[in-house]
Amino acid sequence: MKIIKRSGSEMIFDISKITAAITKANREVPEPERLTREQVLKISANVEDMCERLGRSANVEEIQDMVEDEIMATKHFSVARKYITYRYTRQLVRKSNSTDKQILSLLECNNEEVKQENSNKNPTVNSVQRDYMAGEVSKDITKRFLLPEDVVKAHEDGIIHFHDSDYFAQHMHNCCLVNLEDMLQNGTVISETMIEKPKSFSTACNIATQIIAQIASSQYGGQSISLAHLAPFVEVSRKKFRRVVKAEYEEAGIEATEAQINTVAEKRVREEINRGVQMIQYQVITLMTTNGQAPFVTVFMYLDEVPEGRTRDDLAMVIEEMLHQRIKGVKNEKGVFITPAFPKLIYVLEEDNITEGSKYYEITKLAAKCTAKRMVPDYISEKVMKNLKKGDVYTCMGCRSFLTPDRTQANYANALNYQEGKRKYYGRFNQGVVTVNLVDIACSSDGDFDRFWEIFDERMKLCKKALMCRHNRLKGTVSDVAPILWQYGALARLKKGETIDKLLYDGYSTISLGYAGLCECTRYMTGSSHTDPASTPFALEIMKKLNAYCNEWKQETNIDFSIYGTPLESTTYKFAKCLQKRFGIIEGVTDRNYITNSYHVHVTEEIDAFEKLKFESMFQELSPGGAISYVEVPEMTNNIDAVISVMQFIYDNIMYAELNTKSDYCQVCGYDGQIQIVTDSNGKLIWECPNCGNIDQDKMNVARRTCGYIGTQFWNQGRTQEIKERVLHLSTGELTHSEG
């Protein structure tokens, strides 16, 4: 059994250290008030037993809490007081250099918590370490100077989660929709170099990747671009190739008809689309931003985003090529094609592509094959989204966060492609996220509904206070801090020295109230899952209350607060540990090392894929600031009909959903099936090749979707347990579904 030290590194559990600490406190009290040697050993053994039952590595603070509780249980209060005093004194000494120790443990690559904090960051790489070092300093400054004490304590206790505190010291926002159209059509500036309108599709793709790298280094969340903004440059290349081909024929003295010229030119257009798309895929994957990771890029593929005719057909060709290349994958260091994490792809299901015989149905079939092989694209239903977003269809920012329907009244960003009367989405962004732990509210209420809503109201006030800290940190930010964002078109074209303040109001940007653990919260309060018809109304009432608060705050501040279904990447483990510390092990509520993302059905619950999507659709509607539903499926490359059946169900029933398949490779033996999760001799969950027994994570490629994005750098113990316990929602033999 292992424990996690304060520095984040792991070490073997040593019961003698507990015994020694209790003995020291014991010697400080008069002999008649002391514990016996047998009692000291019994307390130590009880603590060891409790650590074993946790099913994960306990941290030092948790163990010290257990020791305190055990001493108190023997009614030796004077010994308990001495132990608490000693612990507090040591804490004061450590407080002065805790950040130093955290940074040193990062540099030595033995900080187990940070190693698995982000499933797309490799903590052994210098640039990642540099980012993490800066993050530790930022978190320290944020905790000591920038946030109110009650917000910090609530964050540390797992009552709320103040996201991305490692970037909070800087004036940075979360995620965005890049106004790529404005930048490509009207020019931009990258690293003080003027970039004019590209003269070909491949050049446009190259510029787009440079823009992506610059933006990713200027914010901490995901960014989304649309292929619709690149599609017009296909025609630019087509015209160029027609001129070139015609000149080549004339130079060779060959008479050629327009049809012959066009045929050759069109072949070159296809080749250029291939090169351009390949450039996007490989450059996004190989780019390393200043925070030590590939950009969290989402590529939006929506045919109806461009006018019908030549441009839409060109967009269809670009989408088709994007899917072909993603199906192929990218080569790992062994030269084997594997599933890349980025870019994330989103494909819109619409009337012209969802049914057999429709104009673009073949592209939809290709998307299904891509999903079965590489886990992307994810799917947005045009029909459902129009109903929920005032008739508009647009991509999410990052993994799942959606902008509110546009309510701006003017060209606040000075965008050169602004059209009066047309709702605007590209160029808008999210200010940040604070998440409330719903499970903690339930457990704190002890099952009393009146008390639950009292605590709920208290937590909402705290969340608003924390969210306003995020907002106020951005107020006064001058455009000079990130010229690519604020001055050269990605988000705005403000003047040098101008603040971004006007972009924080009137709905131009959003700010997100996240929530986690609706399933466990409902189970604690009602005795059953929120999928139980008797319990569903309570879960929906929570969602409606969250929305009511956001609407109230919006009216008070003129800021677009919005409900966000938090993906909880590493925070799922943190929340679970905090709940266990505060309330102990409660069956079905705190008995795992993770809690459920947002409104999702619990990963262990047996439920049919179509039933799950239908059920979660009503909660997705109440998460307007961001939500995604998924179904867990087996290997589907030979079952494309089943994938299409799910896609057609998504089109009719839910706005945004994905299929979670598996895509692994063992570098030791070449096995390309599913890498398994097993428990080692220390009780730790590890990954193992079922073919050769390889457990070296550096010699395997594992891809899993855990929070909207695909992760490839492995996960903490809580998230790993969640992945291990996922049940399938679609059986291998299931081909079609008659409902819908």
Supply the residues annotated as catalytic.
174-175, 397, 399, 401, 430, 564, 569, 708
Q: Dihedrals φ, ψ of 327, to 5°?
A: -60, -40
Q: Tokens for 706?
A: 């855990």
Residues 437 and 415: their CA atoms lie apart, in Å, by 39
Helix/strand/coil (H/E/C) assignment for every residue in 94-110: HHCCHHHHHHHHHHCCC
Helix, strand and coil content of the chain, in percent to the nearest 5, comes to 50, 15, 40
- Label residues 348-359 b or e (16+ Cβ within 10 Å = b): bbbebbbeeeee
Residues 735 and 347: their CA atoms lie apart, in Å, by 22
Burial class (CB in 10 A: 0-12, 13-18, 19+), 621: middle
Q: How many CA atoms lie within 13 A of 380 on its CB side?
A: 26
Q: Strands 193-195 and 188-190: what pairing?
A: antiparallel
Q: Tokens for 43?
A: 């307390």
CB-CB neighbours of 472 under 10 Å? 11
Residues 653 and 659: their CA atoms lie apart, in Å, by 15
Q: Using DSSP, state whether 26 is helix, strand or coil.
A: helix
Q: Dihedrals φ, ψ of 601, to 5°?
A: -65, 140
Residue written as token pair 């018809």: 533
Residue 393 · residue 385 · CB < 8 Å: yes
CB-CB neighbours of 738 under 10 Å? 6
Q: Using DSSP, state whether 384 is helix, strand or coil.
A: helix
Where would I find the H helices in 6-121? 15-27, 37-54, 60-73, 77-95, 98-107, 112-115
Residue 522 · residue 539 · CB < 8 Å: yes
